[in-house]
């Protein structure tokens, strides 16, 4: 009897004992965790007090200034670190830091040199700030030696181009980085993955760090429509072509989205030029032809890869179900389809794809309705399973990934897709209030498809219809660009892909010599041949075009670095570093560093504080899970330990009474 009781105690208490002893370093995964508030008395756990965003949109270019205000309201000196998101298209080209009444403009440096300079300043007791890129849409800000009572302002500036789709321009400012699932042991994680181990607040708990966003739109053409579907904002109209949008004291737990259209459903196509002291740059946007009516479409195969991990619980999974049921329900009877659901593991609806008849569609809809969220996010394994499914040589295969994208190993997914293109198209639906757009856009780029993002339940139907319309017939194929009397070079992208979406052809480039000649864009649409000619000499360089050098460099960096599909090419890394240093751009290999020379904290002794992040709206505590990556919440282990302890006490008392 005593042996049985001992065995029961061991079974119940083992998980808690493992957790308590903290395990060997090799066992700990690189996982986010919940903040234990009040664990360090006298230490300010929330040094970031506010984020203020000002965006000036002129034509197709947005110039953005982000000001982060840090205050130390505790009684100890601290070193603060904050993880924050950005646009995947952002060309971050400036930073400065102000501590009380002193201001320093940051310098761009090679990443390792910048980090070493920051660590030296930190150890010497100097106030300093380091801005690093961890992903194209994830950045970290480190601020050293914030004394009690200090107010520190860190200001960064970036530019991005707004590319319209179906005549609608969209400006997005992400406000929070969602927790990333990782199965990488902490001891083996590369340096630029360690940000994944970040503190989070529990579901529904707001952070004191408020977000205020102010956008000024000036298009030069009357606006037909302007709205902020993500937030309730104040809109003041200056004139029919200019407006001011304000959002104050937001919780900062979902993407801020601003949409607008120009009158007549036109887009701002044409040629922009910038003549610099050493180099000249141009940007060409070409409005596509109208999409023709869909002709007879050959049979297609669709494999839907659905994320049912813990972070998808609630709104994301419910919306994903609606998207999938809508897409599957409207397939042609001649089409075939399959569904793979994945979290820590994956399950497939059928060993081979099945016909989209009423019986099979009903079977799939029932299976989708019964899905529940929980566990990790092993996307790469699920994609590999989808790719390896038996296929027919007579059908065109499309793999559609539906996820919030909260994973840390994006490059592995890009590499897998890039290496398996052949006759497969890849598309991505990002669903959630703050999706990982780097993953969603990367899947589309690697798979030569198009990304789709659904941030609210009511968008699901329209997004599904847009997807069906998108794949039925391309807008423009065999796109070619030629130059007559215009010496263009270093053009991005190097090759123009087929244009599926109703969005413009976009070219960045440089030119030598005089500003003259013509650029011609040709292709084939459903209505026949397409051609458009632009005269270079008629275009005048304007002050608002000054961002073209950074936007050109950012476009090239995206090809070499962001979407390099895991090649790890040393030559590409060197070129990205050179581009970052030449054009003063934040990249994976260059960082911004600012140091105040005054020694303010002799010896550099201070507490390290990681600013906790709120969970994105509609994301549950299950997205964080436990530190071993099993998906169970920490409370589960506490309850299990308590149950084991109570059982042991009861058994002990019974044995004593006997």
Q: Tell which wins on pLDDT, 45 or 408.
A: 45
Fold classified for 304-472: Rossmann fold (3.40.50)
Which pTM does this prediction carry?
0.77
What 3-state DSSP class applies to 264?
helix
Alpha-helical segments (H) within 261-373: 315-329, 358-369
And the tokens for 253?
Answer: 């737990």
Confidence of residue 265 (pLDDT cuts 50, 70, 90): low
Residue 370 has a CB neighbour count (10 Å cut-off) of 8
Q: What torsion do the CA atoms of 352, 353, 356, 357 make, to the nearest 10 degrees?
A: -10
State how beta strands 242-250 and 234-239 pair.
antiparallel
State how beta strands 487-492 and 528-535 pair.
unpaired
Find out whether the peptide bond into 493 is cis, omega within 30 degrees of 0.
Answer: yes
**Residue 647 confidence (pLDDT) above 90:** no
**DSSP line for 437-491:** HHHHHHHHHHTT--EEEE-SGGGHHHHHHHHHHHHHS-SBEEEEEEEES-EEEEE
pLDDT at 95: 97
> Contact 631/620 with Cβ under 8 angstroms?
no
pLDDT at 398: 85
Confidence of residue 473 (pLDDT cuts 50, 70, 90): low
Tens of pLDDT, residue by residue over 574-597, are 999 999 999 999 999 999 999 999
Fold classified for 268-292+475-570: Immunoglobulin-like (2.60.40)
**Residue 497 confidence (pLDDT) above 80:** no
Tens of pLDDT, residue by residue over 593-643, are 999 999 999 988 999 999 999 999 988 898 886 433 333 334 444 444 444
Tens of pLDDT, residue by residue over 290-346, are 766 655 456 788 999 999 999 999 989 999 998 899 889 988 888 899 999 999 999
**Residue 645 confidence (pLDDT) above 80:** no
Q: Tell which wins on pLDDT, 433 or 564.
A: 433
pLDDT at 2: 45
Q: How far is the C-alpha of 209 from the C-alpha of 227, rounded, in Å? A: 25
Q: Which of 183-187, 374-378, 446-450, 482-486 has the highest mean pLDDT?
A: 482-486
**Section 432-450 average pLDDT:** 84
Tens of pLDDT, residue by residue over 200-249, are 999 988 888 999 999 999 988 899 899 999 999 999 999 999 999 999 99
**DSSP line for 381-448:** HHHHHHHHS---TTSEEEEEEEE---BS-HHHHHHHHHHT-TTEEEEEEEESTT--HHHHHHHHHHTT
Mean pLDDT for all residues in the chain: 85
> Contact 404/181 with Cβ under 8 angstroms?
no
So where are the chain's domains?
Answer: 2-28+644-657, 33-263+587-610, 268-292+475-570, 304-472
Name the helix (H) or strand (E) containing 197: none
CA atoms within 13 A on the CB side of 588: 23
Q: Tell which wins on pLDDT, 457 or 170.
A: 170
Burial of 655 (0-12, 13-18, 19+ CB in 10 A): exposed
pLDDT at 414: 87
Is 268-292+475-570 the same fold as 33-263+587-610? yes
Tens of pLDDT, residue by residue over 345-381, are 999 999 999 999 999 999 999 999 999 999 899 999 9
pLDDT at 468: 76
**Section 60-78 average pLDDT:** 95
Q: How far is the C-alpha of 633 from the C-alpha of 310, rounded, in Å? A: 10
**Residue 14 confidence (pLDDT) above 70:** no
Q: Tell which wins on pLDDT, 102 or 500.
A: 102
Confidence of residue 183 (pLDDT cuts 50, 70, 90): confident
Q: Tell which wins on pLDDT, 410 or 160.
A: 160
User: Which CATH number does 33-263+587-610 carry?
Assistant: 2.60.40
pLDDT at 10: 40
CA distances from 265 to 89, 242, 268, 476, 503 (A): 24, 17, 10, 19, 12
CA atoms within 13 A on the CB side of 603: 4
Q: What torsion do the CA atoms of 544, 550, 552, 554 make, to the nearest 10 degrees?
A: -130
Confidence of residue 648 (pLDDT cuts 50, 70, 90): low
Confidence of residue 653 (pLDDT cuts 50, 70, 90): low
**Residue 382 confidence (pLDDT) above 70:** yes
Q: How far is the C-alpha of 130 from the C-alpha of 156, rounded, in Å? A: 11
Q: How far is the C-alpha of 337 from the C-alpha of 317, rounded, in Å? A: 20
């Amino acid at each position: 009897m005593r042996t049985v009781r001992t065995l029961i105690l061991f079974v119940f208490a083992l998980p808690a004992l493992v957790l308590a002893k903290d395990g060997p370093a090799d066992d700990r995964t690189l996982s986010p965790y919940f903040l234990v508030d009040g664990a360090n008395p006298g230490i300010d756990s929330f040094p970031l007090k506010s984020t203020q965003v000002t965006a000036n949109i002129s034509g197709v270019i947005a110039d953005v200034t982000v000001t982060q205000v840090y205050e130390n309201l505790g009684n100890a000196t601290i070193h603060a670190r904050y993880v924050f998101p950005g646009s995947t298209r952002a060309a971050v080209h400036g930073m400065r830091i102000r501590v009380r009444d002193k201001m320093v403009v940051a310098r761009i440096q090679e990443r390792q040199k910048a980090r070493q300079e920051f660590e030296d300043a930190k150890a010497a007791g100097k106030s300093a700030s380091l801005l690093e890129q961890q992903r194209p849409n994830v950045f970290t800000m480190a601020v050293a030696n914030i004394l009690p009572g200090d107010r520190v302002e860190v200001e960064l500036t970036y530019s991005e181009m707004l590319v319209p789709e179906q005549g609608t321009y969209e400006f997005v400012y992400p406000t929070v980085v969602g927790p990333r699932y990782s199965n990488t042991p902490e001891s083996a994680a590369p340096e630029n993955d360690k940000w994944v181990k970040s503190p989070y607040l529990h579901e529904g708990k707001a952070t004191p760090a408020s977000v205020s966003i102010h956008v000024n739109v000036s298009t030069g053409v009357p606006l037909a429509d302007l709205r902020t579907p993500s937030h309730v904002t104040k809109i003041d109209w200056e004139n029919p072509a200019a407006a001011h949008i304000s959002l104050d004291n937001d919780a900062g737990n979902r993407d801020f989205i601003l949409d607008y259209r120009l009158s007549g459903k036109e887009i701002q196509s044409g040629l922009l030029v910038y003549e610099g002291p050493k180099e000249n740059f141009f940007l060409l946007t070409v409005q596509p032809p109208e999409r023709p009516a869909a002709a007879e479409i050959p049979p297609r195969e669709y494999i839907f890869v659905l994320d049912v991990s813990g972070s998808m619980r609630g709104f994301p999974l419910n919306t994903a179900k609606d998207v999938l049921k809508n897409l599957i329900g409207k397939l042609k009877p001649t089409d075939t389809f399959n569904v793979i659901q994945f979290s820590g593991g994956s399950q497939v609806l059928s060993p081979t794809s099945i016909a989209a008849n009423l019986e099979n569609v009903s079977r799939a809809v029932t299976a989708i309705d019964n899905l529940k969220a929980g566990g990790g996010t092993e996307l790469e394994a699920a994609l590999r399973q989808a790719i390896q499914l038996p296929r027919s040589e007579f059908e065109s295969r499309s793999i559609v990934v539906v996820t919030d994208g909260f994973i840390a190993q994006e490059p592995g997914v890009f590499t897998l897709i890039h290496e398996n293109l052949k006759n497969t198209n890849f598309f991505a639906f990002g669903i959630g209030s703050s999706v990982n757009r780097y993953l969603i856009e990367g899947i589309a780029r690697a798979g030569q498809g198009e990304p789709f993002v659904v941030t609210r339940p009511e968008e699901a139907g329209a997004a599904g219809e847009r997807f069906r319309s998108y794949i039925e017939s391309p807008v423009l194929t065999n796109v070619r660009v030629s130059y007559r009397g215009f010496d263009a070079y270093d053009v991005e992208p190097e090759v123009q892909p087929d244009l599926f979406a109703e969005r413009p052809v976009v070219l960045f480039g440089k030119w030598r010599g005089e500003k003259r000649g013509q650029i011609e864009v040709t292709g084939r649409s459903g209505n026949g041949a397409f051609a458009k000619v632009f005269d270079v000499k008629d275009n005048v360089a304007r002050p608002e075009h000054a961002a073209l050098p950074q936007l050109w460099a950012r476009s090239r960096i995206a090809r070499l670095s962001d979407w390099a599909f895991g090649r790890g090419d040393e030559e590409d890394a060197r070129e990205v570093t050179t581009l970052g240093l030449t054009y003063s751009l934040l990249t994976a290999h260059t960082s911004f560093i600012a140091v105040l020379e005054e020694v303010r904290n002799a010896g550099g002794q201070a507490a390290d504080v990681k600013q906790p992040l709120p969970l994105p709206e509609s994301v549950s505590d299950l997205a964080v899970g436990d530190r071993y990556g099993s998906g169970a919440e920490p409370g589960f282990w506490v309850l299990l330990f308590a149950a084991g302890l109570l059982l042991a006490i009861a058994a002990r008392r019974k044995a004593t009474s006997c």
